[in-house]
Amino acid sequence: MAAQRCGQEAHLALPGLEKVTQFEGAGSKDHVPGQLTSLLLAPCSYFLYYMIVFFQSLISGILIGGVYALIGIGLTIIFGVMRVINFAHGDILMIGMYMTYFLFTVFHIDPFVSIVITIPLMFLFGAFLQKVFINRALNALPQNQILLTIGMGLVMSNTVMLAFTSDYKILTTTYSSSSVEILGISVSEPLVVSFAITVAITAALYWFLYKTDMGQAIRATAQDREAAQLMGINVKRMSIIAFGIGSALAGTAGALISPTYYIFPQVGSVFTLKAFVITVLGGMGSIVGATLGGVLIGVAESVGGVYIGSGWKDVIVFILFLLVLLFKPSGLLGTSKD
Amino acid sequence: MNMKSLTANIRGIATLPLLLTVAAIILLFLLPKFVTSTYALHIMILIFISVIMGSAWNILGGYTGQYSVGHAAYFGVGAYTTMILLQYRHIAPWYGVWAGVAVAVATGLVIGSICFRLRGPYFVLASIAVAEIFRVSALNLPGLTNGAEGILITEVPPFKIGNAVITDFMSKVPFYYIGLVIAIAVILATRLVQNSKLGYYFQAIREDQDAAHSLGINLTLYKNAALAISAIFTSLAGSLYGLYVGFIDPGTVLDLGLSVQIVMTCIIGGIGTVLGPMVGAVVLVPFSEALRSNMIAQALIDSGLVKEDSPIGTFLKEQLSHAHVLIYGILLVVVILFMPDGILGFIKKLLASKRKETA
Amino acid sequence: MKKLVALLLAVMFVLPAVALAGTVKLGFINSITGPEAPIGENLTNGVTLAIEDLKAKGIDVDLVKEDDTGKPDKSLAAFEKLATRDNVVGIVGPYTSATANADAKLAERYKIPVIIPAASKEEITRQGFKWVFRVSGTTGDYAGVLIDLATTLGKPKTMAILNENTDFGVSGAKSAKEIAEKKGIKVVFEEAYSKGSPDYRSTLAKVKATNPDLVFMVSYVADAILLMRQSREIGLSPMAFLGAGAGFSVAQFAKEKEISNGVFSSTQWTEEAPWAGSKAWFKRYVKQFGKAPTYHAACAYESMMIMGQAAAAAGGDREKTREALTTGHWNGILGEVRFQDYDGYQNQRKAVMLVEQVQNGKHETVWPLKDAVKKPIWPFPGWKK
């Protein structure tokens, strides 16, 4: 066991080195010229591999991070307005994925186009959840709210399982594994598109929250629920809208990763925990923070996966999370309210 | 409400409840003499483990108000310590279990000194994060934990005092008694805590941390004390589970689902009461087993209420077992929306409203 | 309250189960729900067909199905119930390695014959157990046949191993490493990834940097597709991609021909398997369930057929059933099955493994050459841009 792990560590430390040594051993008799060149090029190629692996992980981290950001923004809006930790967030995302899947397989609508349908539907779904369930528990103890959303998540994922079985659904588009190569680094095309859509949606959301009356009202509610109520803002209505927006964003994120990921009823749990980490990292309720947090987590996972081992990805993320909680509890960009 | 329930509990040590309790304990001790079905004993052992976990959590979550959703960490640490010592160091479990307790308390204090600075939802999230770190680490440290393959023990060595073999652990009965004794111990501990000065400090922290602090209660100290007591019993439950089942892996003893289940047992029974976790365990364990094994559908068919070949019958037979987690989820939502104080709280409220009507 | 429930429980469970005359009562434990359910469904269907065929042979099986949700503790509860409350003669299942390993111990304690249909972890039948039989091949079989193929068709010197961090993945990777090193292939990269991550690109880039001749992967369905998609993106193009069963041998994987063409996977059974009735059985399965079976379905079918016949011949006696399983041999869609003791195994079927390669979006049997339907394409032709 120990030997096995040692071997693994050696690879982690020196990617590319194996190749060189192996070449020397294997080709020493019949390929003398080859060996010479390889010896000359060894330090050079070692460096090149090193750089390629690094940038590869950095870029895919940033691109994946864009989608994470969208999930995080959704959660942060919900938390900001309601102070409710929504543990069903990943399951809402899962509903968005199934919606995208059926729009694609039944109506042949491209996932990136179908968000036009997914967004309003998911908004209504979220608003419904808020009106029927969460609004009843707004004054409950926080642990009860958490368990309520956990229960809702279980109901969602298991209803989907009964309806569509637990089979993995794979959504294959013509571009699902397409990539462009830039300087030896391959960049996934669907990820680039989804990143661009994320940026556009985030920008639109900003405009909505800062430039429209309703957006201002939502922000006021998030800042101080009671004061907002005194100022005549319909807080319950704002909560419904906020949960709707949060769900629409989670659903969109689901739609955007569908072409490059897979879909099954329990897929949400992967994203729920990530969403929290992102939100806390950026500062609960801060949209810029969540955007930054998403990208940060994407990069931490990707780069950490290369240099520490892909099995440790989650540990890296959680340790980062605890550090931020302890040393800057208001989040990287949040303003302290205490 | 809390002062009321407190005084009610103090007065509760009247003769009748005491007699009933003693009768119940005697009955439970005699049960294996009459019940030969190992399946029934199996369910009872699972109920005991659930009572131990729930009551242990209750001391921290119910009485001190620190809602940890990461208790799988202590359960898993206890189970892993005992099993690793038994499997790789050949240390008998009745020593290993205490090593498990020590390690769990030590980890608890480390985690506590970090996480107890946080409040409310932040504490909940931090407790989840810590438990997840333990789970992923156990997966990735095969040299210590055998990783994803888990630890499988073929048998528990016989327990001897001197040369006399007390038990060889070949049947379920010894596990039954161990479970029963620990369950009684944790309930006694809860009672003691509830009525002691320590308990008053805990409850003061639950009601208002800042007020408690200004009264001179050392928050970090008492929160950690509650966590330590909680970790002791959770770790014992973990070790008992590991030895009884004979197999542990990160996905079963360090899982987030387990943490949620622990909290659920308390919330469904009634949080912050001695009886709550017991009620929760007695309701949830048989219920989920009946759903898993399709016993409910079978019972409906056998009783003649539903015909086996009717559409409803086939649906129940084929789908109900698939739906057991769904029903669990619905139960959770319903309990929280309509009985926020759990089953016990709901019954109390019903009784109270009846009393009002008669008066 | 507690008293009452305890009493109720006692009454409920003490009542002995009523045995039907003239039938054999058998148990079946499977992952009907939970993360392993998609493959579990294959086992359920396989067993359903076996029950029909046993009936045609005049053996009525009173089958008690139990769900273990893929978790060892639930599986033990199910086993406990079957062994002591339902008093079944024998048990087929459970599906996964972790659950099978846990249940094997109980089989020994309760002296109840168990046939494990599809779990491949080597240790399960290496613990000297008398009551545990296994139809499934082992992880060593999966890796062995693939490496045989690779060393016959080419001269690979290096191999990268990428596996999911589960019991199945880890034991598969261990066997692969052991066998590769015996054959003089150097393992230049090995990593266990945590299942369900949307991004394996950085890990694959690292694999590419070690430039291995062979890439050996152990994954379930969805990750298999994801890994291959991202390998294409990254441009990872070794001499051959080798997949150890599971995710690489399902039809869903083959259908993604853009990324699955050319990938080898080892399996215990295929539609074109050289054994009598395979093709007809395949057709019957498709007709009845509307989808193609995996080898899991065939293994579960065969396990139930064997258990049903052995238990019926033994007149429902557990000890006699065990003897029948130890000494008997059966012929079915898996060819001849005998439970043998060899290489430290007890009651283990020596599985004849097949290798399939995805060609034009379909799994074709390419190995061993004498049973091959199509010629293997070697080396990996590279990615079409």
C140-267+353-371: CATH architecture: 3-Layer(aba) Sandwich (3.40)
- Binned at pLDDT 50, 70 and 90, residue A16 comes out as very low
Q: How many domains is chain A partitioned into structurally? A: 1
How far, in Å, are B337, C197, C318 from residue C260 at the CA level? 49, 20, 46
B264 contacts in A (CB within 8 Å)?
Answer: 147
If you write DSSP's letter for every residue of C42-64 in order, what string do you get?
Answer: HHHHHHHHHHHHHHHTT--EEEE
Residue A5 is predicted with a pLDDT of 36
The tens digit of pLDDT for each residue in A288-313 reads 888 899 999 999 988 888 888 888 88
Q: Is the pLDDT score of B299 beyond 60?
A: yes
Are B135 and B13 within one domain? no
CB contact under 8 Å between C33 and B324, yes or no, is yes
Is position A310 within any domain? Answer: yes
Q: Which has the closest alpha carbon to C381: C362, C347, C357, C363?
A: C357
| pLDDT digit string, tens, across residues A235-245 | 888 889 999 99
pLDDT in tens, C247-292: 888 888 888 888 889 999 998 998 888 888 899 999 999 999 988 8
Whether residue B138 is predicted with pLDDT greater than 60 in this model: the reply is: yes
Nearest to B252 among C5, C71, C166 (CB): C71
For testing contact with chain A, the best of B139, B145, B210, B326 (most A CBs within 10 A): B326
Residue A312 included in any domain:
yes
pLDDT interval class at B9 (50, 70, 90): low
pLDDT in tens, C53-68: 999 988 999 999 888 8
Same fold, C21-137+275-348 and C140-267+353-371: yes
Q: Which string of DSSP letters, residue by residue, matches A24-53?
A: HHHHTTT-HHHHHHHHHHHHHHHHHHHHHH
pLDDT in tens, B162-207: 777 777 777 888 999 999 999 999 999 999 998 898 889 999 898 8
Q: Among the three residues B262, B288, B307, which one is the final residue of a domain in this structure? A: B262
pLDDT in tens, B245-279: 888 989 889 998 899 889 989 988 888 889 999 99
Q: What is the ipTM of this complex?
A: 0.81
Question: Do the domain assignments include residue B313?
Answer: no
| pLDDT tens column, C299-318 | 999 999 999 999 999 988 99
Classify residue A223: in a domain, yes or no. yes
Instruction: Report if residue A266 sits inside a domain.
Output: yes
Does the structure show a pLDDT above 70 at C16?
A: no
| Residues B133, B79 share a domain | yes
Domain count, chain B: 2
Residues B24, B165 within the same domain: no
Task: Say what percent of chain C tops pLDDT 70.
Answer: 94
Q: Strand pairing partners for C67?
A: C30
DSSP A138: T
Which position has the token pair 């208002």? B208
Shared domain for B92 and B54, answered yes or no, is yes
Determine, for residues C157 and A186 on separate chains, whether the beta-carbon distance falls below 8 Å.
Answer: no
Are the C-beta atoms of residues A82 and A239 closer than 8 Å to each other?
A: yes
- C-alpha distance across the termini of chain B, in Å: 21
- Which residue from C66, C84, C192 is facing B293, i.e. has the nearest CB? C66
The model's confidence at residue A28, banded by pLDDT at 50, 70 and 90, is: very low
Euclidean distance between CA atoms C348 and C132, whole angstroms: 9
Does residue B137 have a pLDDT over 90?
Answer: yes
A326 touches chain B (CB under 8 A): yes
Q: Which of A186-190, B43-47, C299-303, C341-345 has the lowest mean pLDDT?
A: A186-190
Give the pLDDT score at A39. Answer: 56
Mean pLDDT for chain A?
81
Mean pLDDT of B117-128: 85
Of residues C18 and A102, more confidently modeled: A102
Tokens of C103: 């249940």
Asked if B98 and B184 sit in the same domain, the reply is yes
For residue A314, give its domain range. 58-327
B46 and B2 inside one domain = no
Return the minimum-mean-pLDDT range out of A22-31, A110-119, A275-284, C54-63.
A22-31
Cβ distance of B46 and C77 shorter than 8 Å: yes
Q: Give the distance from residue B55's alpha carbon to the nearest chain A alpha carbon, in angstroms.
A: 17
Instruction: Give the residue on B whose Cα is nearest the Cα of C98.
Output: B149
Task: Please tell me the distance from the alpha carbon of residue C96 to that of residue C38, in angstroms, as a whole number.
Answer: 12
Contacts of C10 in chain B (CB under 8 A): 31, 34-35, 37, 40
Q: Is B67 on the interface with A (CB under 8 A)?
A: yes
The pLDDT assigned to A9 comes to 34
CB contact under 8 A, B292 and C12: no
Closest in C165, C210, C256 to A18, CB measured: C210
pLDDT at A40: 57
Q: State the CATH number of the domain containing residue A108.
A: 1.10.3470
Quick check: C246 and C266 in contact, CB under 8 A?
A: no
Question: pLDDT, tens digit, for every residue of A130-145?
Answer: 998 888 888 777 777 8
Same domain, B17 and B94: no
Length of chain C: 385
Domain endpoint, select from B262, B281, B315: B262
| Residue A314, phi then psi, degrees to nearest 5 | -65, -35
Query: What is the model's pLDDT at position C369?
Result: 83
Q: Mutate which of B26, B42, B274, B278 to disrupt the C interface (most C C-beta within 10 Å)?
A: B42
By C-alpha distance, the chain B residue nearest A84 is B121
Domain range summary for chain C, segments of one domain joined by +:
21-137+275-348, 140-267+353-371
List all chains that touch chain B, counting a touch as 3 or more CB pairs closer than 8 Å: A, C
Does B106 share its domain with B225?
Answer: yes
State what percent of residues in chain B have pLDDT above 90: 35
Query: Which of B232, B262, B292 lies at the terminal end of a domain, its last residue?
Result: B262
Q: Directed axis angle between helix B219-245 and helix B38-58, to 10°? A: 170
Domain boundaries, position B186: 39-262
Q: Angle at Cα A4 formed by Cα A3 and Cα A10, nearest 5°? A: 90
Q: Is residue C155 predicted with pLDDT exceeding 50?
A: yes
CA distance C313 to chain A (A): 38
Beta-ladder partners of C305: none
Contact: A153, B132; criterion CB under 8 Å = no
Same domain, B165 and B228: yes
Contact B75/C at CB under 8 A: no
Domain co-membership, B185 together with B243: yes
CATH architecture of C21-137+275-348: 3-Layer(aba) Sandwich (3.40)
- Using the structure block, give the residue that is written with the tokens 């202590």: B74
Q: What is the pLDDT of residue A273?
A: 87
Which of B76, B18, B31 lies closest to B262 in space, CA to CA?
A: B76
Contacts of C343 (CB under 8 A, 6+ apart): none
Nearest-angstrom CA–CA distance, B337 and A135: 10
Question: Looking at B6-15, B263-272, C247-256, C320-329, which range is the least confident one?
Answer: B6-15
* Averaged pLDDT of chain C: 87
**Are residues B115 and B24 both part of a single domain?**
no
Mean per-residue pLDDT, A116-140: 90
**B281: in domain:** no
Q: List, as own/partner pairs, every contact residues A9-13 make where C-beta atoms lie below 8 angstroms and the sequence separation is at least 24, other chains included.
A: A11/C188, A11/C189, A11/C190, A11/C206, A11/C210, A12/A307, A12/A308, A12/A309
Residue bearing the bigger pLDDT, A30 or A269: A269
Better-predicted residue by pLDDT, B98 or A184: B98
If one counts every other C-beta atom within 10 angstroms of the C-beta of residue B208, the result is: 12
Least confident span in A16-25, C6-15, C240-249: A16-25
Segment A30-45, tens digit of pLDDT: 333 445 555 555 666 6
Interface of C to B at Cβ within 8 Å reads 1-3, 5-6, 9-10, 12-14, 32-33, 65-67, 69, 71-74, 76-78, 80-81, 84-85, 98, 101-102, 105, 109, 121, 127, 165-167, 169-171, 192, 194
Q: B132 and B12: one domain? A: no
pLDDT at B13: 53
